[in-house]
Structure 1
Amino acid sequence: MAGHPPASVDPARFWAGRRVMVTGGCGFGGGHLVLRLVALGAEVGVFDRQPEQPGVLCGDPARAEVDVMRGDVRDQAAVVAALRRWRPEAVFHLAAQPLVPESIRTPADTLAVNAGGTYTLLEAVRRIDQGTAFVLASTGGYYGENHDDRPLQEEDPARAAANLYGASKIAADVAVQAYARTFGLPASVCRFMNTYGPGDRQTSRLVPHALRRLREGGPYDFGDRDDGTTRLDFLFVGDMVEGYLRVAERLAGNPGSCYNFGSGRPTAIRAVARMVSEAYDGVAREPLFRGPRRDRPIVKSLDVTRARTELGWVPTVSLADGLARTVRYATAGPAG
């Protein structure tokens, strides 16, 4: 398929009336995905161990159109019950322990949720309905640390980072590929880079942390995890959602496939912090990064050629525009 324009798919026609299950659908990325699916007319079931958590889904009137079931992806009986309840035609698996610092504090729980939970869900799908499309939310952390400007490609090897989050997501990523190739499941992997956007409340991540510091009015301090020179690929959550949908819409023709999603343009996190400050109140604060100075900055961006040529996906929201939307939401709520 590479090098040829993808066949056109009408999302509204494809998703209207389609039964969909989203694990982790009450979280940040999951909530945005669920709202988009509802808008397209899908029948959405959400499986989440924290269904009351505040977020974009919890505060939106469309939540009334979503069937929400409390459950943990590590609980095989609960997973099977959810699949039998909804009989989904597509499963988007977003449930995860997504935070690097937490993976260091609770490595066993991180591995159990991210790796073990993915195996549990895959096995349940295999036994109940092997025709169910399965899309995994993986990560650019699959590729570990990188120090050159070459965008990373899907064929690049997995490299574990210095934390358990990366290892746990590599295990999940490889499991999905293996189930697709071993059992013929229509399953695929989406590797996303540093997704940000309205409603993200995880302040261990750069943009929510910046917004918290700005609201508090104290030092614009980002701690000692980095020296500010790291250059990363940032992806707006709306572009991430469209990536999920494009993969699922074309999955039947390419099971076991992996796709990168990012802007392809790495930006220094110090510069991103400055941009958040200016978008917040017009003040160009200098962020304080107190990590040890690196001789070679970490650089990570993803080559999205495959997503563009096979799926017709391209990012549409610039970093400046995406940060502006995120700041407006944080300062004025969903109506802002």
Structure 2
Amino acid sequence: MKKLLVTGSSGLIGSEVCLYFANQGWAIHGIDNNQRAIFFGSQGDTRSQQKRLETQIKGFVHHEIDVRDRPGILDLIDSLRPDAIVHTAAQPSHDLAATIPFDDFDINAVGTLNLLEATRQFAPKAPFVHMSTNKVYGDVPNEIPMTELKTRWDYADPAYKHGIPESCRIDQSKHSLFGASKVAADIMVQEYGRYFGLKTCCLRGGCLTGPNHAGVELHGFLSYLVKCNLEGRTYKVFGYKGKQVRDNIHSYDVARFIEEFLAAPRSCEVYNLGGGQENTCSILEAFDIVASLTNKKMVYEYIEKNREGDHICYYSDLRKIKKHYPNWSITKPLESIFSEIVAAWSNKFTLNQK
């Protein structure tokens, strides 16, 4: 039986990958130390996801290891010798990074290096999939001429009608410290492919989302927005008139792509992995969609200051990823994503009231 090692296994993407590949017959090992609860408090706690994996996956093995623990990571991969590695563990908030710069860099950059070197030494044939981020592009996408529409911004330059391609530059821009630490990891993953010949890819995610996301204000756009709506909590909109646009991809479709890559791995590749233009929405549009599902008006406060390095409009150009892996496509449309998140939060609130 093939062995899959997933870091950040209790998070949104990590847990989805664990469950997906368990159903494909893989033996699943997960690394997670619930650091999200330290970052975001009890609202970010992921222990329930860990318990779900232990309950639903036969033989699931949880490893309580911090990716910063170099000897621990080396020893684990030496003993396990996994057939593939999916690295989703991260400090995920570009706002929080500014207050914890050492933790942010050590987790995102150094933690990734620890895993790569352990892979090179003990599992060099194992494909290595790294969950990067569109924040590696910094605010370069904001340099593209924009058109302001009634409820959103969009690219005025027809060269970007398909979205942001992988050829977009990643330097000479403002990233946030989070974006900078993820750039360091992204480049190192590429280099271990290019220099050492490992089968590596960086997935530069758009808005990764789904019903299992423990969304909080500093991370988890759609999940947190839906939660605020259902609770009647005030949602804070930071700048750009609430017309900033994101492309949204369900965690299931992320796992499906990883399956395609592991079946035919390539070396030192980068892919923009998001929902594409069809799965875009602005914050204002998201308010309307969730209100139509819950029959509750969105309560929000507008703050005339955008987040540092934030994108005005971002959606992924999926042409490269589809060219390399033509069997992969988006299966979860935006409406389905919203419906699943609303149902998940509604169910949690109902259970908490019992």
Q: Which aligned pairs between 1:124-203 and structure 2 lie closer than 5 A?
A: 124-145=118-139, 146-147=141-142, 148=144, 149=155, 150=160, 151-159=163-171, 160-203=173-216
Measured after TM superposition, the shift of residue 267 of structure 1 is: 2.0
1:55 to 1:237, Cα distance in 2 relative to 1, 3 A: farther
Measured after TM superposition, the shift of residue 285 of structure 1 is: 3.1
One-letter identity of the residue aligned with 2:268: G
Q: Which aligned pairs between 1:25-64 and structure 2 lie closer than 5 A?
A: 25-50=9-34, 53-60=46-53, 61-64=55-58
- Residue 282 (str. 1) matches residue 295 (str. 2): yes
Match of 1:222 in 2: 236
Match of 1:314 in 2: 329
Match of 2:341 in 1: 326
Local SS of the residue matching 1:46 = strand
Match of 2:151 in 1: none
One-letter identity of the residue aligned with 2:284: R
Structure 2 CA distance, aligned partners of 1:48 and 1:25?
Answer: 6
Match of 1:83 in 2: 77
Q: 1:153-212: CA deviations, max 9, x gaps?
A: 112211453411111111111101111111111111111101111121131232232233
Q: Is the 8 A contact 2:74 2:114 kept in 1?
A: no
Match of 1:6 in 2: none
Structure 2 CA distance, aligned partners of 1:309 and 1:323?
Answer: 28
- Report % sequence identity: 23
1:307 to 1:224, Cα distance in 2 relative to 1, 3 A: closer
Structure 1 CA distance, aligned partners of 2:7 and 2:187?
Answer: 19
Measured after TM superposition, the shift of residue 289 of structure 1 is: 2.8
Local SS of the residue matching 2:285 = helix
Q: Is the 8 A contact 2:86 2:130 kept in 1?
A: yes
Match of 1:234 in 2: 248
Match of 1:4 in 2: none
One-letter identity of the residue aligned with 1:75: D
CA RMSD of aligned residues (A): 2.5
Match of 2:147 in 1: none
Measured after TM superposition, the shift of residue 328 of structure 1 is: 0.6
Local SS of the residue matching 1:189 = strand
Structure 2 CA distance, aligned partners of 1:270 and 1:322?
Answer: 17
Measured after TM superposition, the shift of residue 47 of structure 1 is: 1.2
Structure 2 CA distance, aligned partners of 1:68 and 1:58?
Answer: 10
Q: TM-score, normalised by structure 1?
A: 0.86
One-letter identity of the residue aligned with 2:100: T
Match of 2:87 in 1: 93
Measured after TM superposition, the shift of residue 95 of structure 1 is: 0.9
- Residue 299 (str. 1) matches residue 283 (str. 2): no
Match of 2:104 in 1: 110
Measured after TM superposition, the shift of residue 35 of structure 1 is: 0.7
One-letter identity of the residue aligned with 1:42: W
Measured after TM superposition, the shift of residue 248 of structure 1 is: 1.9
Q: Is the 8 A contact 1:227 1:292 kept in 2?
A: no
Measured after TM superposition, the shift of residue 329 of structure 1 is: 1.3
Match of 1:12 in 2: none
One-letter identity of the residue aligned with 1:300: Y
One-letter identity of the residue aligned with 2:167: E
Q: Is the 8 A contact 1:186 1:256 kept in 2?
A: yes
Measured after TM superposition, the shift of residue 290 of structure 1 is: 2.1
Structure 2 CA distance, aligned partners of 1:144 and 1:297?
Answer: 8
Q: Is the 8 A contact 2:166 2:270 kept in 1?
A: yes
Measured after TM superposition, the shift of residue 293 of structure 1 is: 7.9
Structure 2 CA distance, aligned partners of 1:335 and 1:126?
Answer: 47
Q: Is the 8 A contact 2:186 2:202 kept in 1?
A: yes
Q: 1:15-34: CA deviations, max 9, x gaps?
A: xx211100111112111110
